[in-house]
Amino acid sequence: MKPKVFLTRQLPPEPMKRLAEQADLTVNPHDRYLTKAEIIDGIRGVDGLLCLLTDTIDGEIMDANPDLKVIANFAVGYNNIDVAAATQRKIPVTNTPGVLTDSTADMAWALLMAAARRVAEGDRFVRTRQWGGWGPLQFMGTEVTGATLGLIGMGRIAQAVAKRAAGFNMPVIYWNRTRLSAADEQRLDVQYRSFDEVLRSSDYVSIHVALCDETRHLIGRRELSLMKPTSTIINTARGPVIDEKALVVALQDGTIQSAGLDVYENEPQLEPELYDMDNVVIAPHLGSATVATRTKMGNMAVENCLAVCNGNRPPNLVNPDIYA
Ligand code: GLV
Ligand code: GLV
């Protein structure tokens, strides 16, 4: 008998087809995310839940189905799931690491370049028919080549961002909870600094930490005030890592120059001021949004989900304690 799986949103075609073939599948019929009540309804009687980063999965949802075998997240980040509650209930939680590293690093660079060179602002200017011709003072941005790049966090994605900096002759400094080995620092050509020093010395600061209690509002008023007035902050990680209200103030009063944001504290809502600020490039959480990457993430989530449903240990387990 095929395992019963509840999927909270349509996946790209390839993983969708695999899941439909190998599982007795129920899918969210809407093109929107589900309410908590709808998720609770959906997971009753199924073996596996395949969910998204927009679904908050807490203990109450898990208790709606005491026979739930797995929670497979279609994302590398899993802050949307109460992993401790899942572990307590012996439910494996899985994610999709690795496959979105490069696309997310590319997106961080896209935002960095767009903010530095005022690409989105220029686009709006041309589209609104305001452009009267080339001008020597128009949209002067900040130099990227040779500038110092500071990375907060040094996981896979930060390392991929660091590699790309070599092409721009940018010195890369980083802070991470645990320092890399000397060999890795040399291989990546990155230098370790204290957290405050990275903020103080960088022209571009890019955030690459997972969201957890320790990293919520890691960047607030104090941290922004350490940054150079000419600097840019990039966030492709998770919105709540930055205190968004403090960021708005820092961008308004010139504490920092600009921001490139892909993630927000209360998605899909932004601090209202952000919508109208020209020194912010805003993207709708697109880090992993390429056809190839989303397909790989889907395949990985399906594989994780079906592995557990079929009695096997999943390849990308977040809470290995449950098998201890
Ligand atoms: C995307 O934000 C992810 O965590 O996969
Ligand atoms: C996520 O993939 C990370 O470790 O950076």
27-59: per-residue pLDDT in tens?
999 999 999 999 999 999 999 999 999 999 999
Q: Into how many domains does the chain fold?
A: 2
285 located within any domain = no
Are both 259 and 181 inside the same structural domain?
yes
Ligand number, closest to the Cα atom of 287 = 1
When pLDDT is averaged across residues 130-145 and rounded to a whole number, the result is 97
User: Which numbered atom of ligand 1 lies nearest the CA of 95?
Assistant: 5
Are both 94 and 123 inside the same structural domain?
no
Are both 254 and 313 inside the same structural domain?
no
When pLDDT is averaged across residues 240-250 and rounded to a whole number, the result is 98
Residue 305 — pLDDT band, cuts 50, 70, 90?
very high
* Residue 60: closest CA among 34, 79, 86: 86
Per-residue pLDDT of 199-213, as tens digits, reads 999 999 999 999 999
In this predicted structure, the answer to whether residue 324 has a pLDDT above a threshold of 90 is no
Instruction: State the burial class of residue 171 (Cβ atoms within 10 Å of its Cβ: 0-12, 13-18, 19+).
Output: middle
State which of 80, 83, 93, 100 you would mutate to test the pocket of ligand 1, scoring each by most atoms of that ligand within 8 A of its C-beta: 100
Per-residue pLDDT of 249-269, as tens digits, reads 999 999 999 999 999 999 999
What mean pLDDT, rounded, does the chain reach?
98
108 located within any domain = no
Type of residue numbered 184:
D
What separation in Å is there between the alpha carbon of 56 and the centre of ligand 1?
A: 14
**Domain extent for 316:** 4-98+291-323
Are both 184 and 217 inside the same structural domain?
yes
Are both 297 and 239 inside the same structural domain?
no
Are both 197 and 274 inside the same structural domain?
yes
Task: Report which protein residue has its CA nearest ligand 1's atom 4.
Answer: 77
Residue 230 belongs to domain with CATH number: 3.40.50.720
283 located within any domain = no
220 located within any domain = yes
Ligand number, closest to the Cα atom of 158 = 2
Are both 133 and 226 inside the same structural domain?
yes
pLDDT over 70 percentage in the chain: 100
52 lines ligand 1 (CB under 6 A): no
155 lines ligand 2 (CB under 6 A): yes
What separation in Å is there between the alpha carbon of 78 and the centre of ligand 2?
A: 11
State which of 74, 99, 104, 263 you would mutate to test the pocket of ligand 1, scoring each by most atoms of that ligand within 8 A of its C-beta: 104
Q: Which residues are known catalytic residues?
A: 238, 267, 285
pLDDT of residue 260: 99
Distance (Å, whole) CA 53 – CA 289: 13
User: Which numbered atom of ligand 1 lies nearest the CA of 73?
Assistant: 5
User: Which numbered atom of ligand 1 lies nearest the CA of 78?
Assistant: 4
Are both 216 and 309 inside the same structural domain?
no
Instruction: State the burial class of residue 276 (Cβ atoms within 10 Å of its Cβ: 0-12, 13-18, 19+).
Output: exposed
Which contacts of 14-22 are long-range, i.e. CB under 8 A and separated by 24 or more positions? Answer: 14/295, 14/298, 14/299, 15/295, 15/297, 15/298, 15/299, 15/301, 15/302, 16/298, 18/299, 18/302, 19/50, 19/302, 19/305, 19/306, 22/302, 22/306
Are both 234 and 162 inside the same structural domain?
yes
